[in-house]
Amino acid sequence: MLRKINKYLLKNKLRVDISFKLVFFIFTILVILVSIKIVLAYDLTLKNKIDSKLSLLKTGKIGIIFIDIYDKDRVVYEKNASSLFIPASSIKLLTTYCALSNLSPFYFFELKFYTDGDIENGVLNGNIIVNADFNPTLIEEIIYDPYDFLFNCVKETLDSYNIKSINGKFCIDYSISKEKSIPIFPESWEIYKGEPFAPYVIPFSFNQNMIKIIKQNENIMVFPNLGLNPYSLINKSSFVDNAYWYIYEDPFEYNKLVFSKILKDLSINVPVIPLYNKKGNLKLMNTYLTETLLNALRYQNYWSDNYVSQSIYYLLKYKYDINLQEYYRDLGFYNIVIDDGCGLSRKNRVSPFMFAKLLSYSVKNGLFKYIEYTLPGYLEGTLSSRKNMPKTIKAKTGTLNDVSALVGFIKTNSNKYLSFAILYNGPYTYDAKILEEQILDIVYNNY
């Protein structure tokens, strides 16, 4: 009798278990279906709202992509994401990513002094060679007074070896480029020649080869003061940020003037010459650290500085044999075209997908926080006039006559982290900038 009761109970328990599991399975499926429906509804709402805004764009081509970084790179929205666009200054992010990956955020730019001679009784019998290897940080935006810094570096080097005179030459080292066809000014930049935003970039560059002139009533201040007539310079200068900026057309002559003035003030009478080929055994005299790569990139991206980014582009190319285009093609982005490191070239071609995917990948390889640090946020840097953007944005801008670009990160209202890229090529760049802000606002509030 007991055996029959146990058998009955076991049979009914099994039925209950099966029924419970079946109900739980059906409930789980329903929850998943409802969740999918909610997500699809969210996506559809977001898509419809963005598409509605895009329909108002008069003409031109636009490419957009938003990727959910922490949801397996889920594409939240895309349009023409794989098409190629002129990226303008947003290409600086590619220079940033490559430099951080290969040199590390805390790579230090240096200023070095060498000699090929010997010192005897305060006399250097030989040459002094100054080397910077495309160091972009010898500018007043990064070093408070770069001329004073350079003066003190030369003075300290001479004093530390008790050098009172030089029986030789003072050489500015340009040998890293292995080219004499300098100044290095890309052919694709010719339309911008003479503009402050299109500087000459050579292996040793100081203060972007510029002379800054500030005129206050009858007073004129010149930085650096190389003994040139300021009035004649003003007539050939561009007026930007309450100052006149004169670009010295021959950067080699400019550097010669700078060091000649320093040496004269130190009572050292020695010719200053360019050096294209280093020969013999050079002895390192002194090394001066100027700034980290990370902080140089922050200035570069925060204010979209072409000089810094192009210098880093050449540093990677000439010193470390890293061709930016080949580097990214090796990563699988086969169709891109990279002609410079700052975005002035109209030959550059990049897709929105590449930008967003690369930024998303930076989370996985540990570069995210460094890249984010270099970017301006809401009402900062090049975003300082973009009042209608979400306050959680960190992004790099890009602008040419017929190009508007915005690439970066955004945290949505529901705490989702997205990488994104919006690239527009066409005549209505003002309308495109407004559209960028509207799209970001839609994504912020609807995802």
Could you tell me the CATH number of the domain that includes residue 395? 3.40.710.10
Tell me the pLDDT band of 20, cut-offs 50, 70 and 90: low
Residue identified by tokens 């200053």 is 272
Rounded CA gap, 371 and 405, in Å?
Answer: 17
Rounded CA gap, 146 and 388, in Å?
Answer: 37
pLDDT at position 241 is: 82
Tell me the pLDDT band of 26, cut-offs 50, 70 and 90: low
Residues 285 and 204 in one domain: yes
Residue 178 lies in a domain: yes
Residue 10 lies in a domain: no
On the question of pLDDT at 34 being above 50, the answer is: no
Residues 200 and 83 in one domain: no
pLDDT at position 35 is: 46
End residue of a domain, out of 258, 275, 295? 295
- Residue 234 makes CB contacts below 8 A (sequence gap 6+) with 213, 215, 244, 246
Tell me the pLDDT band of 235, cut-offs 50, 70 and 90: confident
Residues 250 and 163 in one domain: yes
Residues 170 and 241 in one domain: yes
End residue of a domain, out of 260, 295, 330? 295
On the question of pLDDT at 264 being above 60, the answer is: yes
Pull the structure tokens for residue 26: 């059906």
Residues 411 and 357 in one domain: yes
pLDDT at position 178 is: 61
In Å, what is the CA distance from 372 to each residue of 199, 309, 360, 447? 27, 17, 11, 21
pLDDT at position 22 is: 54
Per-state percent for the chain, helix, strand, coil, to nearest 5: 40, 25, 35
Residue 117 lies in a domain: yes
The CATH number of residue 111's host domain is 3.50.80.20
Rounded CA gap, 335 and 235, in Å?
Answer: 45
On the question of pLDDT at 119 being above 70, the answer is: yes
On the question of pLDDT at 59 being above 80, the answer is: yes
Number of other residues whose CB lies within 10 A of the CB of residue 344: 23
Residues 139 and 226 in one domain: yes
Higher per-residue pLDDT: 295 or 43: 295
pLDDT at position 393 is: 98
Tell me the pLDDT band of 8, cut-offs 50, 70 and 90: low
In Å, what is the CA distance from 359 to each residue of 354, 372, 407, 408, 418? 9, 9, 9, 7, 9
Residue 401 lies in a domain: yes
Rounded CA gap, 396 and 358, in Å?
Answer: 14
Residue 102 lies in a domain: no
Task: Say which DSSP state 351 is in.
Answer: -
Residues 374 and 276 in one domain: no
Q: Please give the average per-residue pLDDT across 230-240, as a whole number.
A: 86
Whether residue 271 has a cis bond before it, omega within 30° of 0: no
Q: Please give the average per-residue pLDDT across 213-232, as a whole number.
A: 87
pLDDT at position 44 is: 81
pLDDT at position 207 is: 92
For 287-321, give one letter per residue: b (16+ CB within 10 A) or e.
ebebbbbbbbbbbbbbebbbbbbbbbbbbbbbeee
Rounded CA gap, 316 and 229, in Å?
Answer: 38
pLDDT at position 4 is: 57
Residues 421 and 274 in one domain: no
pLDDT at position 94 is: 99
Residues 117 and 185 in one domain: yes
Report residue 396: phi and psi, to 5°: -105, 130
Residue identified by tokens 């270099």 is 374
Higher per-residue pLDDT: 206 or 218: 206
Give the range among 201-215, 226-240, 360-374 with minimum mean pLDDT.
Answer: 226-240
Model confidence over 361-420: pLDDT tens digits?
A: 999 999 999 999 999 999 999 999 999 999 999 999 999 999 999 999 999 999 999 999
On the question of pLDDT at 36 being above 70, the answer is: no
For the chain, the first-to-last Cα distance in angstroms comes to: 64
pTM for this prediction? 0.88
User: What's the total number of domains in the chain?
Assistant: 2
Residue 92 lies in a domain: no
- Among residues 165, 173, 186, the alpha carbon closest in space to that of 123 is found at 165
Count of alpha carbons within 13 angstroms of residue 373, beta-carbon side: 14
Domain that holds residue 54: 50-87+350-446
For residue 147, the surrounding DSSP H or E stretch is: helix 146-160
On the question of pLDDT at 182 being above 80, the answer is: no
Pull the structure tokens for residue 336: 């891109």
Higher per-residue pLDDT: 372 or 220: 372
Class of residue 199 by CB neighbours under 10 A (exposed 0-12, middle 13-18, buried 19+) = buried
Residues 160 and 240 in one domain: yes
Residue 43 lies in a domain: no
Residues 363 and 392 in one domain: yes
Counting residues of the chain whose pLDDT is more than 70, the rounded percentage is: 89
Return mean pLDDT, the chain.
90
Whether residue 224 has a cis bond before it, omega within 30° of 0: yes
In Å, what is the CA distance from 381 to each residue of 39, 230, 367, 384? 35, 30, 21, 5
On the question of pLDDT at 38 being above 50, the answer is: no
Residues 270 and 199 in one domain: yes
* Cβ(393)–Cβ(440) below 8 Å: yes
Q: Please give the average per-residue pLDDT across 293-302, as a whole number.
A: 98
Residue 322 lies in a domain: no
pLDDT at position 231 is: 85
